[in-house]
Amino acid sequence: MRILIVTDIEGVAGVVHPDQTREGHAEHEKARRWMTCEANAAVGGAFDGGATEVWVADSHGGYRNLLPDELDARARLISGKPRSLGMMGGLSAEFGAAMLVGFHARGEARGVLAHTINSAAFARLWLNGSELGEAGLYGALAGEMGVPVIMASGDDVFVAETRPLFPHCVFAATKEAVGRHSAISLSPEASRAAIRAAARQAMSVIHSAEPLSMQGPIQARLQARTPAHADLFCQWPALDRVDGVTLQFCAASVEHAVRMINCLSAMAAALR
């Protein structure tokens, strides 16, 4: 059984401030080590539970956070950007399940460092009328390939908003959000133990877990960060303007929607 572990950094225990998530910042050097250790905890739990092959996708920022020489030697690392399928890089129907480690709540929610894809570009996102964060968007992408999400970790707000999407998923809450830049966190050690236990337990639900199913065509709606972002995004003829900050488009599949959203995210750099 091949497992994909998708790793972000905002939901890692001890991470509460944007400096901890920015490449090149001294605080990020510590946080990326915690992220690597939480990835390793999930890798360990997956193998404990019977996985035969584990791939780890580095899926924060420039996708170059995890420390390759500190990653569990049994795992394969997917890193670097841009890449096909974005955060779910490497995924195919060959995988038995996906695990989401270090995830965060969706944009405009009350979770630690909550955002959706790119906080400088987007405020909120809906697919077929359902508001989704990154776990929902990429969980639907995995679902389109028949791959269920069986384990996820992050703060309590992330867990609460994500649980209804993945009824069989085993969650590990790494911290309790106090505010956008504040949390009551587990220690890194305790967080890793919780993640390893959740990953191991998740391997036992794999056969009953349902992939998140979303039927195409996909109606995608985005709330841009500012009207200027909406002006920019709507230069793309496939997008319709709904109001000052809201736009929508139709995509043939979740994969196409993800690809368009990631292109818009890259375009947003023009307004920085």
Residues forming contacts to Zn ion in the complex (CB under 5 A) are 8, 10, 60
Nearer to Zn ion, 8 or 155 (CB): 8
Residue 119 or 246 having the CB closest to Zn ion: 119
Q: Which is nearer to Zn ion, 9 or 170 (CB)?
A: 9
* Those residues with Cβ within 8 angstroms of residue 94's Cβ, 6 or more apart along the chain or in another chain: 2
Q: How far is the CB of 228 from Zn ion (least distance, A)?
A: 24
Name the residue nearer to Zn ion (CB basis): 74 or 81. 81
In the 3-class helix/strand/coil scheme, how is 188-219 assigned residue by residue? HHHHHHHHHHHHHHHCCCCCCCCCCCCCCCEE
**Residue 110 phi, psi dihedral angles, 5° rounding:** -95, 15
Residues 6+ apart with CB under 8 A from 61: 9, 21, 22, 23
- On the 0-12 / 13-18 / 19+ scale of CB atoms within 10 A, 179 is exposed
Residue ranges with strand state E in 27-115: 53-58, 76-78, 97-103
Task: State in angstroms the smallest separation of the CB of 14 from Zn ion.
Answer: 15
CB of 167 to Zn ion, least distance (A): 25
Could you tell me the smallest distance in angstroms from the CB atom of residue 172 to Zn ion?
A: 17
Measured from the CB of residue 267, what is the shortest distance to Zn ion in angstroms?
A: 19
| Residue of this chain nearest to Zn ion (CB atom) | 60
Going through the chain in order, the beta strands assigned E by DSSP cover: 2-7, 53-58, 76-78, 97-103, 122-127, 130-131, 149-155, 170-179, 182-185, 218-224, 240-241, 246-251
243 vs 272 by CB, closer to Zn ion: 272
Residue among 22 and 241 whose Cβ is closer to Zn ion: 22
Task: Report the nearest approach of Zn ion to the CB of residue 213 (Å).
Answer: 26
